[in-house]
Amino acid sequence: MSNATTARLSRRGLLAAGGALGLGAVLTACGDDKKDGGADTKGSGDTKSGPWSFKDDRGTTVKLDKAPAAIVAFTGVAAALYDYGIEVKGVFGPTTTKDGKADVQAGDMDVSKVTVLGNVWDQFNVEKYATLAPDVLISTMFDDAGTLWYVPEASKDKIAKLAPSIGISVFDRQLTGPLQRMWELAESLGADMKDAKITEAKKRFEAASERLRKAAKAKPEIKVMVGSASPELFYVSGTNLSIDLEYFKALGVNFVEPTEEAKKPTGGWFESLSWENVDKHKADVILMDDRSSAIQPADITEATWKQLPAVKAGQVIARSTEPILSYDKCVAPVEALAEAIEKAKKVS
């Protein structure tokens, strides 16, 4: 089976699983040279006038006569750029909830002011995309084959003909790498990275990371399990491949790890458990997928869930499974985990 076929099947399978924990293609892990920040070439060029270029994490350099103004991006990417003062014309991916409110992946964006090309998996209005006269399309990548997240397989060739694309990798590396790449992209697009709000957010992220490192060192006995809930199954994530978990693990957090045998069907992303077996792993703190595609803890009715020691102790917190890659949005998840470990009682 080719890498492209593997990626296509894996992504669909993971999403069909109800909010998959890794949400990416099941492919071989990237080499160590990619783990600390991906491609090493920044965007370049005068953003006010003159040529513009940016080398993405596929090694592809997009060159334009001037910095792109008509940007279309995956919702989470658009939310990150918004935090840096860069606004997009169109988005695709989870943007609004059923009641019309902003999805968690939309961050602080005013979703009423962007053109939504698709709100769910495999939905992308190519005709509407063309009317935006896009200069560039930007998305993340959950594999090492260059597959752009939420760009449908069936229409990707048509989409590619309308504008060049940029891919930022969020596969098998620590959070700080993609954060730096998004910073570089925003800077190339004209963001003022010396703005006080932006520099302060980076300092807060660094402080939160140090707090988490100290908490993990002070309480190494606290076991953290990462989960996601669907009507039929409970998913336990492994820490490899996901940018947030790899980073937290590097800071010393003691995670529950599914066995390699259990992760084989999903290529290493996660283990699937029936609700009857949700108590298979012992944990003191549970991190739960906060995306709208997953059942949230307050809505889980399974008796086996309610009997878990961490649940009974109130030691369940949300996880930003697809982090918005701005320092501002990555502060809260780090602080929340640090606080949870600091306050956690050993219950497993």
pLDDT, tens only, 202-252: 999 999 999 999 999 999 999 999 999 999 999 999 999 999 999 999 999
Please, are residues 228 and 269 in contact by the beta-carbon 8 Å criterion? no
Q: What angle do CA 337, 318, 170 make, to 5 degrees?
A: 80
Please, are residues 240 and 246 in contact by the beta-carbon 8 Å criterion? yes
pLDDT tens readout for residues 171-211: 999 999 999 999 999 999 999 999 999 999 999 999 999 99
Mean pLDDT of 265-270: 82
DSSP codes, 14-69: HHHTTS-SS-S---PPPPGGGTTTS--PPPEE-SSSS-EEEE-TTSPEEEESS--S
For residues 204 and 347, what is the distance between their CA atoms, to the nearest angstrom?
31
Mean pLDDT of 22-37: 34
Which of 24-33, 106-115, 286-295 bottoms out in mean pLDDT, i.e. has the lowest? 24-33
What is residue 115's predicted lDDT score, i.e. its pLDDT? 98
pLDDT tens readout for residues 137-168: 999 999 999 999 999 999 999 999 999 999 99
If pLDDT is split at 50, 70 and 90, which confidence band does 49 have?
low
Structure token digits, residue 151: 């760009």
Sheet hosting strand 44-45, strand order edge to edge? 44-45, 52-55, 61-64
For residues 310 and 138, what is the distance between their CA atoms, to the nearest angstrom?
39
Which of 84-88, 142-146, 260-264, 316-320 bottoms out in mean pLDDT, i.e. has the lowest? 260-264
What is residue 24's predicted lDDT score, i.e. its pLDDT? 34
Q: Which residues contact 10 (CB under 8 A, 6 or more apart)?
A: 24, 25, 26, 27, 143, 266, 267
219 sits in which H/E element = none
What's the predicted TM-score (pTM) here?
0.87
For residues 260 and 263, what is the distance between their CA atoms, to the nearest angstrom?
5
- DSSP secondary-structure letter at 179? H
Mean pLDDT of 269-296: 96
DSSP codes, 255-319: E----HHHHGGGTTSEEEEEGGGTTSS--SEEEEE-STTSB-GGG---HHHHTSHHHHTT-EEEE
Which of 25-39, 194-208, 299-313 bottoms out in mean pLDDT, i.e. has the lowest? 25-39
If pLDDT is split at 50, 70 and 90, which confidence band does 264 have?
confident
If pLDDT is split at 50, 70 and 90, which confidence band does 55 have?
very high
Please, are residues 178 and 35 in contact by the beta-carbon 8 Å criterion? no
Q: Percent of the chain scored above 90 by pLDDT?
A: 82
